[in-house]
Structure 1
Amino acid sequence: MGLSERFTDLREPWRPSHVLLAIPVALIVVIATVDILAPQDIRLGPLLVIAPALTASFAGALPTGGIGLLAVAAQAYIGRHIGVLSSRSMVVQIVALALLSALTVFFALIRERRGRELARVRSVAEAAQRVLLWPLPDRIGPLRVASLYLAAEDEALIGGDLYAATRTGGGTRVMIGDVRGKGLAAVGEAALLLGAFREAAHQHTGLPELAAALERSVARYEDDFESREATGECFVTTLLLEIPDEDHVVRMTSCGHPAPLLLGPGRSVRMPSLRPAPPLGVGRMGPTDYALDTFPFEDGDTLLLYTDGITEARDRGGDFYPFTERAARWTEGSPETLLNHLRRDLLAHVGGRLGDDAALVAIHRDDRTPPRHGRRPARASRPDGFHHGCGTTGPRR
């Protein structure tokens, strides 16, 4: 074992909880000293029970038991020093202190066991969520990509908002959507749509046909899993995009989802005019019911996709977040910088807590950089070129 490893081993036990143990120890010393020096009609020994009770608030059962024993020993020392150790009053005080210390240790054990159970449950939940939480790569063909997800539910990494991207022949297809509702209850529907998009994106030549295939998947989900009372209440607003590598255009099909912002140099912000169809799950729609809209997407432009958790966020006064105005401030930065600015600004606007899930995807066209495979922060790219996720979370609110 090297010197650095030995030094690490020496430092490992010295944790903040161990540092805090000095407080109950000092408390025992002070109480015992004052009790010995005080007049005989003033007895502070019963206050020693504060030491194990305080220890249980930040340490485990073993340190709490040690402090409890130290408190009992201090009480016995006080009795011996003042010559009343065998008196009935002192014996009762020592026994009561021992029982209270033991009770404190018992509750500390229960708290530790429940803490371990909660940690296991939380780790399983996080693992299950991260199965869906595949961050989008930072590069897809000629596109630089950044994504952000803010879940409204406490302890949740994802919710009902979703996005995905996949490479197709000579281009990239992107989807962003918003399941009705929020939190973990909507995760199953989001997972269904992500899986359907993964399969259908490579099987249909046009976005209207892709939208119709996703509609059929949502309809099957409703028929198989939704109750009769809930029929028609499950729907997903979705925006489908197709960005060719060579042509400087973007094709879009909207299923009730708002149009993205098109950011250009010089703080230029435009919103393409879309012909939206109803959300997925509202009606049995065919390919002819979906419109295909095409808009210029030049080198240096940035598409900013979002869900209504952004535009409908309110401050304490009830004012909506001025999304377009704020996005115009950071059009010159990279996609990552843009989303970082928007995240901080949005959370400041709402006071640190969102009322609904929110997702953002920034897609910047950069033809000057040679296309390469997207890099994943935590997972290698899939061999089929598919990337998806229910979001990349930012720091917790």
Structure 2
Amino acid sequence: MRSFPRSAPGTGTGGHSRLLVTLAQCVPFAIALLVIAIEFSPAHVLYTGPLLTATPALAAVTMGPKGTISAAAVALAVSVITATYNQAWGSRQVYTNFLAILLVSAASVTTSALMHTRRRTELDQIRRIAAAAQRVLLRPVPARLGPLRTASMYLAAESGAQIGGDLYEAVQTRYGVRMIIGDVRGKGLPAVRSAAAVLGAFREAAHYEDDLVEVVAHCEAALRRERAIPWGIDWDDEEEQAESFVTVLVAQVPDGPVIEVVNRGHPPPQVLRGGTVHALMPASPFPPLGLEDLVTGPPGETESYVFVPGDRLLLYTDGVIEARNHDNDFFALPEAVEAAPACAPPDFLEQLHQGLTRHTEGRLADDVAMIVAERLDGGAGARRRRTAFRKDADIDHLPQAPR
């Protein structure tokens, strides 16, 4: 499958902000080193007391209570070491500096603790609001849709209060059960607006467009209209705006033992059949929504695969397969799917959730969305259709039917 550009970790506005914060946190300790260098050099006649006094105050601005205590301890230790080295104990200046450092340190630690508590309270409130907005955008799929037992799961990355851009939906239509899963590049309000535009178009078009490609075309047009609205987004540069896209996969499960898929740059679905996982790789990769200018030709293609009773389909976002452990190893999704016991779809997703938690030690780097759909036995008629179907079709992939 063709890969498409994504921002590398630590780049963009967020990466620059984190770098500035890290540099600011190093300033208090750099000042302490500077004082030591001055006091142990011929320039020790310079008055360095105010520099050490400012160290805990600067730490309180950029670090929490523990960091402020560390900076204060370093300042006190440097004051004692330099006073001993210069044999300055007994002078009024040394005791004045020492008392000033103690008073500023106490005030800085208290201020830092109060600021930390207030920030945590505000962040918890924003997270609750973000979670509520996410639940409005992403509704849990019904437990039963036509010939399928289904379940969904959304896991937010523990990195601030940003709302992610993962999206999913499953609806029963006259054409069969139709599902969509997607991932918007980026986070925050721009990602939410893009996800809402795509989901809204899918929920409408899924009920009256008989062609899956046309359903995706409606989603693409809605995204294009949303991006054309001057929301006042402060893009870093034109390149970042040009790289904004949405990977989506739309699937349809009709009455027959088959599944139809249109994949626009999204990770391929996994089908569990007889204890073995099969990836539904697209024969003709197409770019995500928003990057259609990269290629010329049709906007997508419907591909058909065998999907018989007992098969289990897993749709997921790249937060699953890109989850890493402390050794930087990716999460082995096919192995995890095969190792999951035979159980109901919600329990199956919970098993995958536990596997992700163990692999990442509870620290997801990206949001995760998953839909699982298990095909039920439709009775004798369905078995007869399946028998005839198996005689004429390859078990893994079906040729595209002419339209």
Instruction: Give TM class, smaller chain.
Output: 0.5 to 0.7
2:288 to 272, 279, 292: 279
Instruction: State the secondary structure of the residue aligned to 2:298.
Output: helix
Aligned to 2:205: 200
Greater shift, 181-190 or 117-126, is seen at 117-126
2:223 to 199, 208, 218: 218
Aligned to 1:257: 266
Alignment of 1:38-187 (within 5 A): 124-154=129-159, 156=161, 159-182=164-187, 186-187=191-192
Q: State the 1:335 CA deviation.
A: 1.4
1:298 equivalenced with 2:298 (yes/no): no
Q: In the alignment, residue 261 of structure 2 is paired with which amino acid?
A: M
TM-score by length of 1: 0.59
Seen in structure 2, the aligned counterparts of structure 1 residues 143 and 156 have a Cα distance that, compared at 3 Å, is farther
Matches of 1:156 and 1:113 in 2, distance apart? 15
Aligned to 1:378: none
Sequence identity percentage: 44
1:324 equivalenced with 2:329 (yes/no): no
Aligned to 2:299: 289
The question of whether the paired residues in 1 share the 8 Å contact of 2:123 and 2:161 is answered with no
Q: Which has the larger radius of gyration?
A: 1
Q: State the 1:326 CA deviation.
A: 1.4
The question of whether the paired residues in 2 share the 8 Å contact of 1:182 and 1:356 is answered with no
Please state which structure has a larger fraction of its residues in helix: 2
Structure 2 gap segments, 5+ residues each: 1-112, 380-403
TM-score by length of 2: 0.58
Alignment of 1:361-380 (within 5 A): 361-367=371-377
Q: Looking at both structures, which has the greater relative contact order when contacts are Cα pairs under 8 Å and sequence separation is at least 6?
A: 1
Aligned to 2:352: 342
Q: In the alignment, residue 187 of structure 1 is paired with which amino acid?
A: V
Matches of 1:247 and 1:211 in 2, distance apart? 22
Instruction: State the secondary structure of the residue aligned to 2:329.
Output: coil
CA RMSD of superposed structures (Å):
3.1
Seen in structure 2, the aligned counterparts of structure 1 residues 360 and 118 have a Cα distance that, compared at 3 Å, is closer
Q: State the 1:126 CA deviation.
A: 4.0
Aligned to 1:354: 364
Matches of 1:239 and 1:352 in 2, distance apart? 27
Aligned to 1:313: 323
Matches of 1:112 and 1:307 in 2, distance apart? 34
Structure 1 gap segments, 5+ residues each: 1-107, 370-397
CA deviations over 1:18-60 (Å, ceiling 9, x no partner):
xxxxxxxxxxxxxxxxxxxxxxxxxxxxxxxxxxxxxxxxxxx
Q: In the alignment, residue 297 of structure 1 is paired with which amino acid?
A: F
Q: In the alignment, residue 137 of structure 2 is paired with which amino acid?
A: L
Matches of 1:261 and 1:113 in 2, distance apart? 44
Seen in structure 2, the aligned counterparts of structure 1 residues 347 and 367 have a Cα distance that, compared at 3 Å, is same
The question of whether the paired residues in 1 share the 8 Å contact of 2:319 and 2:365 is answered with yes
